[in-house]
A and B are shown apart, each in its own frame.
Chain A
Amino acid sequence: MRDKTHREQVQRWAEYVKENPNEWKTELNQFIDAQFQMAQKFYEELAKTKEGREKIEKLKVMRINKR
């Protein structure tokens, strides 16, 4: 559950973005890219397992059905 420190974090980040319009995007992109790289790396490992490709297909279906 979100607590007070989470709300403080949201405020802190919003203030930084406002005060540093030319800097925040590069830093944030690196961080977001890292999360997608992590997912990509995981799927490469999952694909090597016995049922991996089948599971990846199921996950794709799950994402499509969500839309």
Chain B
Amino acid sequence: MKKITRGVTDKNILDIFAEDFCRIIEKYTNYFICSGFVSIAHGRSRATEDIDMIIEKIPKETFTMMHKDLVKNNFICMQSDNPEKIYSDYLIQGNSIRYVRKSKGMFPPEMELKFVKDSLDEEQMQERRTFPLTKLNLYFSSIESNIAFKEEYLQSDKDMEDAKHLRIIYEESLDENKINKIKEKIRRLRL
């Protein structure tokens, strides 16, 4: 029987969507992915429609170039085609924007993108990292911050299960002190 080996062709549509998008973003600014997709990339068998991405604040001119690059590579912004409007009406106001692949139905997945908004986001940006077990060439926020946000801020059943899942995966290396410090900061800045 012919042995099946994993390689580049092993990527599925979700891997390709996320990695293609991030390759463009990182030409213009730093980013990290957080929330549900972190758990899904770590084996949580549940569905999500969007991937949450936070990027550093960039000037309008840089955003315009980045947006045009995304459009050139077959992504479309659901809020507007006009980069100046997207920047002024959404990003700079602290709202998110969403990109999908150009297609008839504008199918999910969607990349939900927003600017860093406070020191919590900035710290996550500084500590962003890749996770070799996911086999994805993407930057994520730390496992500790994902657990802290899910347990302290989001708190739905789904989020609590995500946090428990991540706790099991990284049980030997989790820094509880760090989780508690992030939770304290969440209480101070977000609640």
Interface, chain A (partner B; CB < 8 A): 1, 3-6, 8-9, 12-13, 16, 20, 23-24, 27-28, 30-39, 41-43, 45-46, 49, 51, 55, 58-59, 62, 66
Interface, chain B (partner A; CB < 8 A): 6, 10, 12-15, 40-50, 78-79, 90, 95-98, 103-110, 112, 133-135, 153-154, 161, 164-165, 168-169, 171-172
A27 x B45 contact (CB < 8 A): no
A34 x B78 contact (CB < 8 A): no
**Bound complex: CA A33 to CA B154 (Å):** 26
A3 cross-chain contacts in B, Cβ below 8 A: 95-96
Q: Which residue from B6, B41, B134, B165 sits with its C-beta under 8 Å from A59? A: B165
Q: Which residue from A34, A49, A55, A66 sits with its C-beta under 8 Å from B12? A: A34
B164 cross-chain contacts in A, Cβ below 8 A: 62
Contacts A35-B47, A38-B41, A59-B168; A5 near B107 (Cβ below 8 A): no
